[in-house]
Every structure is written in C-alpha cells, then in structure tokens.
A and B are shown apart, each in its own frame.
Chain A
C-alpha cells in the first residue's frame, strides 16, 4: 500500500505555522467538552491510570488542559516535524509530556498498549488511507475502557468545472481506495452538505470492520464493543472539521459503561442521535454581552438582549460553560 502524502506535508508548511491555534474558539470549546466527558471515565478506573496520546503541535493546548484538569501524567505527543524538534522541546509545558517524532502510523505501533489509552488523532487534513492504519492499530490493541477520537478536515473536494477535471468521487479515490467507499455514495453526496456524513461513515465502517476481526479471536466476555460518544462539527477558519470518537469496552464491562452516564452531557452523541452531529457554533459576541447573558444562564428564560438574534443566544447558551477566556493583553 502506498501511503499518500498529506496536503500539509506536500506544501511543506506545518499547520501550526499556518494557523494560530490559540485563536480557535470552536476548537477550544470542543477540547473542554471532551475533557468533561473524559472525567466520566472514572467509573472505569482512576483517571491517573490512563495514558493520553495526541498530536500536541507547538501549542500543547490539549495536553495542558488534560494534565491540569484531569491529572493525567502519562502523556505522549506524536509530532511529524522532526526538523523543529528543538522548538517542540522548548514549548513542552510539563515534564510529564513525552515527545515521539515521526508519523503516527509509525509511532503508534511502537508504543505500549498495556494501559488504557485516550487517543486523539487530531489530523489537520482530509481523510486519507494512512488514517486507517492508525484506526487499525488502536482497535486491534487498545484495552477495554480506552477512548479513540479522530478529527479530519471535511472540506469537500474541488468541484470540477472544466471538462476533463476530476470528479469529486475521483479525487476521493485518489486519497482512499474505492474498496473503503460505501456502495451508496454518489458524486452528489460529496458536496458541502453531505460530505461530512460520508467521511463519518467511512471512518465508522473501518472501526466496525477491524473490531469484528479482533472480536473473532476473543471469548464472549472479552469481546469488545464500540460506543460512540462524539460527533462534532465546527469551523474556526475556512475548513469545517469533523471529530468523531467513542469508547471501546468489553462485554464484562457493560455495567461500568452504563454507570458513566455519558448521556447526561448534552453534547454526547450516542445511540439514536449518533448520526446527527453536534455543531459548535461560536457566536460573535462582545464580552459585555456575554457577561450579561451569563447572568441569565443556565435557565434561558431571563432577560434577552433585543439586538441579538435568538440563534446567537441559543448558540451561546449551549457553549457558555466551555467558552475560552481570551485575554488581549501581554502580562509582564
């Protein structure tokens, strides 16, 4: 199998040099929501027994948050830009974060899977064949109670407007083999509206297939189930991003998963509404407006601001607890 180069690799510009990660409110909100969900894994085992594996970039935002709010101390960041090694080492906020340089599909098979793992495959590019290798490594190795998250860019491929240009379907088959594309997908499903769902299905089909293969070798009580928890769609810059993920647990851990009571969190997408993504829309509000709305929340029956649309207020009331605290000052 040939592993396609990602776009960012082709352009030779790592995403952290293209986007200022600290100015991405939707991503910051998603991160906090995920953290709140991870806290419920306590029913599986003490959170400090988990290992967190992610792609930190030079900002280490997820690592800082998870270390500070959950107390995890076993953390591994995978980073492909070996040439910036010094910069990564310098920006590493805590000693407990270990850096592994290389591609995730090389690094993941080499780490230990003896512990429960929270793995966030936070890709900054479009769905591609090499991602299946990472999904495969997690699903075939992870312990019961482990969590997998996968974020991909779901910007549709270019619409062919001249004759001879490749259709969106052809562009998709250049990134992933046709044998991974569901049989009901047609050209019209690859537009802005429907493409995220196609990506969602492709990733889930892969998860299911590898899980079935692993289960083929396990006795009943150890057979693993995948429970989806997350299906986020958000947009900070021009690219819509999709994050899906969930927890794997063995048949004998069914009670534990029930006790986690993930459903209590309104951004959790499992069972019946799992296909319907939770959209993180960040309304552009002033600090004064937000402070005012805060006083009326969580119950949203209080005073409204007549110059704000209902939609803006609703969006804000869904995310206010997770809203990042941006400060526009350099503190000396």
Chain B
C-alpha cells in the first residue's frame, strides 16, 4: 500500500457499511416475515390510537403485484419527529420514545423489510400534526458512502383529522426473486395463512387486514370444554422484567397433527406456533420429563402470552420468528409450561392406551374418548380453568377376572360367509358365535 493514500491517523474503521443492511441483514428474514414486520408497524399505529381497546374501523391493505408492493393503513400515521429522528434510522436510540404494548421495537423491521423487497420506496404518512413523504432510491443512496440520511420530499405541518391519518408504503423496482414470488397465487395463500395465525388476536380485536382486497379471517384458539375438563391456567407478573405479565393456558383441542403444540405470543403477536420442539418443552428433562411431540399428542394445545408496556423486555428475536430461548424470563416460563404439560401428556397417554385396549377387546367401551367427544370446543378465554389440567379418570380396566380376549385373522370372503350363516353383522360377532358353536358341541358336558 502506498503511504500517500493510506489514512495518516491510526483510526480503524468501525462504522457499518450500507451493503450490510441492503444485502446481508435481509437474509435473516423470510419474505413473508418481512411483510409481517410491516403489518406490525400498522398494528403499532392502531395501538397508539386505541390503546388496548377495540380496533374497529382500522384497516391494513396489502397489495402484491408483479411490479410493486403496497401497504396502506388508516391508523395513526408516523409522527414527523419520530420519522426524522427514529423511524428511518438503523437501530433505535435508547432514548427513543416507545408506544406502550407495541410490537415493532427493534428499529430494524421496516428498513429490513423494504430492502428485502425492492430498490425504490415511497413512504407517505399523515399524522395528527403533520404529513410527509419520503422517496428513497436504494441504488443512489448506497453510492453516498458516508451519508446515511434520507430527506423529506414534502412536509406539511398542520392539523389533520382522524379520518385522513394513515401511512402508505410503496415498494417498486422489486428484486427479481420477490417479483417471481408475488406472481405465485400460492404465495398469497401462504401469506394469508401466516398472517391469520400471527395476527389472530389483532384481527379478533377488530383490525381488518386485507390481501389484494380479500380480508383475512380471524382464527380462534379453541380448547375442549365440559364439566369434566378444566384447562390449566397460570399467570404471573415479572416485576424485574419491565412488569411483563405472562399467562399460560394449556389443555386439549382438536385432533390435528399439524396444529398441536405451543403457541407463543408477545404483545398479542404470535411469535412461534405450533411449536413442537425442545424450545417449548417437548423432549424436556427438567423440571419433569416430557416425551418428544408425536401423533399421540396432536390434541395438545398450549397458549402463552407475554405482555409488556416496554416491549424490549419480551423474549423475542429481532425478526419476531422465534423466542429468545436463553432469556431468563422465558426459561422461567418454560419450566412452568413443562410442569403444566405433564398431566395433559398423562391424560393423552391414557386415551391412547384406552383405544389400544378397546381395539384388542380388553375394554368394552372407550370412556375417555366418549368424554372427549361430548366436550365442545370453545375459545380459550371462555373455558373453565384450574391451576392444573383436570380431566376424567379412566374407569379402570373393565376386564373381568376370568375373561380373556382372543384375536385372530381370517380371509374376508370366509368371514362374510359365516356372517351370513350366523346372521350377524360384525367379524367380532362371527368370532363369538363360532367359539360358542364349537364349545357347545365339543366341550359342553
């Protein structure tokens, strides 16, 4: 290196490069999660406007086309000071003001989502005291090496009525792979399914989310309820972690392999679920042993809600796709989850054993299964709860002391003939009749 153009000082460069944000960080998030992140911003607007009340009248419209992406809401808009100081900054300064119970707190989500999708962005926002627009051309911006700032294209400072407020973000010059995905109808269906799960609580609070004009549905978290079943409930406020309030509901629901497991929410946003791995306790060894998730447990449902005014205390990662499993608060809650799971696992094992015993004719009736069948599915907020899961206990083996079960296999055509002969309708009856027939003739004294 020639000494002429080498920096004379002994400063080692530590500033980030724009390339890191444009093409590296975007790899940490999937396209669908990037879109979810933008929806989170809208939800924060809704929270700012309505607090913890109903979101009635608020709407998020997402439009995906081959050549552009638009997300538009009629929530509170981005405040101009927030825009100037924080919203477009990379990372959020620690003194930045927070919306209570918000979901977008890392100061990375929106930028990362936009960089992920395309090369040109346009943001228009109308808030209570000002409206502004910003246009960003990533190619031009990335060439200005040490200037990270964006500039308002237009700024009007006046009062805007509620009905006019909102934010619209348009991404054009889509990256080719993104444009290819947006063309796929299945991508839209997949996005819908994901948003329906992630935002189910916000949708049930009245927020309307539309994809290309079609509203997503509100999915309910349902548990079995009857006078014999009680869902396990546990709640605790963690004073040392920003007063985070945690609630756990654990019980049984619909039998569905793909839907069984834990659902973990942070400030009403689903972070992970159905979670079927060690993260949520499947295969855990402490405090009690739990088997790995499999078909026998497909009725298991657990819902965990972390809520905090200060979202930085919540145990989630920056892409909001996973819990921060190492955080002390999650570790603590996880041990409660595992504890609450065990009685449910025990019960589901008994249901399984009962079914096996019934099939091999050791049991005459499926008592537990009948109790499950006669219970009804209800939203988790309206089920009977208790400190631990309560379920009917099996009546015990109905097997009478001197009786044994016989099981054997014969070809269908021959069994059919015997059914006709004995005028009975089931193979089981054929077995009984043939046994009695032989016994009466050959063994009876």
| Contact surface of A with B, Cβ cutoff 8 Å | 1-2, 177-184, 201, 205-206, 208-209, 212, 216
**Known contacts A205-B184, A212-B184, A179 near B190 by CB under 8 Å:** yes
Query: B183, B186, B188, B193: which contacts A206 (Cβ < 8 A)?
Result: B186
Asked whether, in the complex, the Cβ of B185 is within 8 Å of the Cβ of A182, the reply is yes
Cβ-defined contact, A183 with B188, below 8 A: yes
Residues of A contacting B257 in the complex (Cβ-Cβ under 8 angstroms):
2
Interchain CB contact under 8 A, B185 and A205: yes
Which residues of chain A are within 8 angstroms of B181 by Cβ–Cβ distance? 212
Best-buried of A2, A183, A201, A205 by chain B (most CB within 10 Å): A183
B353 at the interface (CB under 8 A from A): no
User: B295 — nearest CB in chain A belongs to which residue?
Assistant: A2
User: Smallest distance from the beta carbon of A174 to chain B beta carbons, Å?
Assistant: 10
| B214 CB–A CB distance under 8 Å | yes
A212–B66 CA distance with the chains assembled, in angstroms: 14
Q: Is B211 an interface residue (CB 8 A)?
A: yes
Taken together as a complex, chains A and B put the C-alpha atoms of A208 and B180 apart, in Å, by: 11
Given the known interface contacts A2-B257, A212-B180, the answer about A183 and B189 at a Cβ–Cβ threshold of 8 Å is: yes
Question: With A205-B186, A208-B184, A209-B186 in contact, do A179 and B193 touch (Cβ < 8 Å)?
Answer: yes
Determine whether B112 belongs to the interface, using a CB cutoff of 8 Å to chain A.
no
Q: Closest Cβ of chain B: how far from A177's Cβ, in Å?
A: 8
User: Quick one: which of B184-223 are within 8 Å of A by CB?
Assistant: 184-190, 192-193, 211-212, 214
CA distance A177 to B196 in the complex (A): 14
Distance of A204 Cα from B360 Cα, bound (Å): 46
Contact A178 B189 (CB under 8 A): yes
User: How far, in Å, is B159 (CB) from chain A's closest CB?
Assistant: 38
Identify 15 residue pairs between A and B in the complex whose beta-carbon atoms are under 8 Å apart, listed by A's number: A1-B258, A2-B257, A177-B193, A178-B193, A180-B186, A181-B189, A183-B188, A183-B189, A183-B192, A183-B214, A184-B214, A205-B185, A205-B186, A212-B180, A212-B181
- Chain B residue nearest in CB terms to A204: B185
What is the total of A-B residue contacts with beta carbons within 8 Å? 46
- A1 contacts which chain B residues (CB < 8 A)? 258
Tell me, rounded to whole Å, the shortest Cβ–Cβ distance linking B209 to chain A: 12
Bound Cα distance from A179 to B177, whole angstroms: 20
CA A212 to CA B185, docked complex, whole Å: 12
Measuring CB to CB, which residues of chain B are less than 8 angstroms from any residue of chain A?
177, 180-181, 183-190, 192-193, 211-212, 214, 257-258
Chain A residues near B188 (CB, 8 Å)? 182-183
> Which of B177, B189, B258 is within 8 Å of A182, CB to CB?
B189
Q: Are B189 and A179 in contact (CB under 8 A)?
A: yes
Do A179 and B186 touch across chains, with their CB atoms under 8 A apart? yes
Please determine whether A180 and B189 come into contact, CB atoms closer than 8 angstroms.
yes
| B contact residues around A201 at 8 Å (CB) | 185
CA distance A282 to B190 in the complex (A): 40
A182 vs B188: C-alpha distance when bound (angstroms):
7
Give the nearest-CB partner of A2 in chain B.
B257
> Which of B183, B189, B193, B257 is the most central at the interface, judged by chain A CB atoms within 10 Å of its CB?
B189
Residue of B nearest to A206 (CB): B186
- Contact B189–A208 (Cβ < 8 Å): no
What residue in chain A is nearest B187 (Cβ atoms)?
A209
A307→B412 CA distance, assembly (Å):
53
Return chain A residues, CB-CB under 8 Å to B258: 1-2, 177
Nearest-CB distance from A152 to chain B (Å)? 18
Task: Please report the C-alpha to C-alpha distance between residue A230 and residue B67 in the assembled complex, in whole angstroms.
Answer: 30
B190 neighbours in A (Cβ, 8 Å) = 179
Q: How far is the CB of B429 from chain A (nearest CB, A)?
A: 19
Residues of B within 8 A of A2 (CB): 257-258
Given contacts A205-B189, A209-B184, A212-B184, 15 further A-B contacts (CB under 8 A): A2-B257, A179-B186, A179-B190, A182-B185, A182-B188, A182-B189, A183-B188, A183-B189, A183-B192, A184-B212, A205-B185, A205-B186, A212-B183, A216-B177, A216-B180
Which of A179, A184, A201 has the largest number of chain B CB atoms within 10 A? A179
The docked-state distance in angstroms from the alpha carbon of A179 to that of B193 is 6
Q: How far is the CB of B341 from chain A (nearest CB, A)?
A: 23
Q: What's the Cα separation between A1 and B184 when bound, in Å?
A: 22
Chain B residue with Cβ nearest A179: B193
Q: How far is the CB of A8 from chain B (nearest CB, A)?
A: 17
Q: How far is the CB of A275 from chain B (nearest CB, A)?
A: 13
CB distance from A84 to the nearest CB of B (A): 13
Looking at the assembled complex, report how far the CB atom of A206 sits from the nearest CB atom of chain B, in whole angstroms: 7
Q: Which residues of A sit under 8 angstroms from B186, Cβ to Cβ?
A: 179-180, 205-206, 208-209
Separation of A183 and B180 alpha carbons in the complex (Å): 18
The docked-state distance in angstroms from the alpha carbon of A206 to that of B193 is 16
**In the docked arrangement, what's the CA distance between A178 and B186, Å?**
10
Nearest B residue to A208 via CB reads B184
Determine the residue in chain B with the shortest Cβ distance to A186.
B214
